[in-house]
Amino acid sequence: MLSFYKKKVAGWNWYDLPEVISTNDTIKELSEKDLPAVVSAAKQSGGRGRRGRRWQAVSGNLYFTFSQSIPVSELSRYVCIIGLSMAKVIKKTAPKANIKLKWPNDVFLNGKKVTGILLENIKNNIWAIGIGVNIVGSPDIKDMPYQATSLKEEGIDTERTAFLEQYLEQFSSDLAQYEKEGFEPLRTEWLKFALNLGQEITIKNDEDIKTGIFLTLDEEGYLILKIDNKEERIIAGDLFI
């Protein structure tokens, strides 16, 4: 493992491996010895997505996971900030692109999904934040109500390791702002990227399905849905239109 050490980036010890099953698993092995760390891989054979789905591999795309200490009471805000930092990095590279955040943190580029994020607990307050970014190619998604795209397909040229560095710098700067100024400025920024804000949406989670108007994101990072003139706080789920 040590031979794959690259350098420190924005405070994380960065390991770039030729091939792994899932970077979320590798970070868990590494986190016994080295924190905070980030693991990326050129190939990922068993990438996981949310809700037990697979994350398909395309050579040249970015797969990485970094460790982060997150107080449990702040988890939902962090989930939003992690996605916001991604939207901002893409916006910096392509200011004219149509970038949207699908609550809580999927990033859509020109109407198609370009990034997926999977948080898994390592131990106590330490989380594995696994991110897949379609840099050069996108898989054919058959069982989802949206298509996938890549930065390259949308005219954005970048390379996976350079993009990883930009992301960690951005996240670290957004986190510093959060610690100094609180969640409000980031919540405002998040809302500017929000997909389907003010529209009728459906949220599905393990317990139920709810349809209503997407009113806002609250101060905790939860989605506020207006159902029959009442406001409901949605803590987790997948958003559909």
Among residues 83, 104, 130, 212, which is the contact residue for ligand BTN, using CB under 6 A? 130
For ligand BTN, which stretch binds (CB under 6 A), given 9-17, 49-57, 143-151, 217-225?
Answer: 49-57
Backbone phi, psi, residue 204, to 5°: -110, 130
Structure token digits, residue 151:
């930065």
Whether residue 225 contacts residue 212, with contact meaning beta carbons closer than 8 Å, is answered with yes
By beta carbon distance, the residue nearest ligand BTN is 116
Interface mask toward ligand BTN for 196-225; x: CB under 6 A:
------------------------------
Q: Given strand 99-102, what is the order of strands in its sheet?
A: 5-9, 12-20, 37-44, 62-69, 126-133, 112-123, 106-109, 99-102
Whichever of 106 and 174 has its CB closer to ligand BTN, that residue is 106
- What's the min distance (Å) between Cβ of 156 and ligand BTN? 19
Among residues 30, 99, 131, 201, which is the contact residue for ligand BTN, using CB under 6 A? 131
Structure token digits, residue 163:
């993009």
Whether residue 81 contacts residue 186, with contact meaning beta carbons closer than 8 Å, is answered with yes
Query: Residue 97, SS3?
Result: coil
For ligand BTN, which stretch binds (CB under 6 A), given 4-12, 60-68, 94-102, 151-159?
Answer: 60-68
The site for ligand BTN (CB under 6 A) is made up of 22-24, 47-50, 53, 55, 63-65, 106, 116-118, 130-132
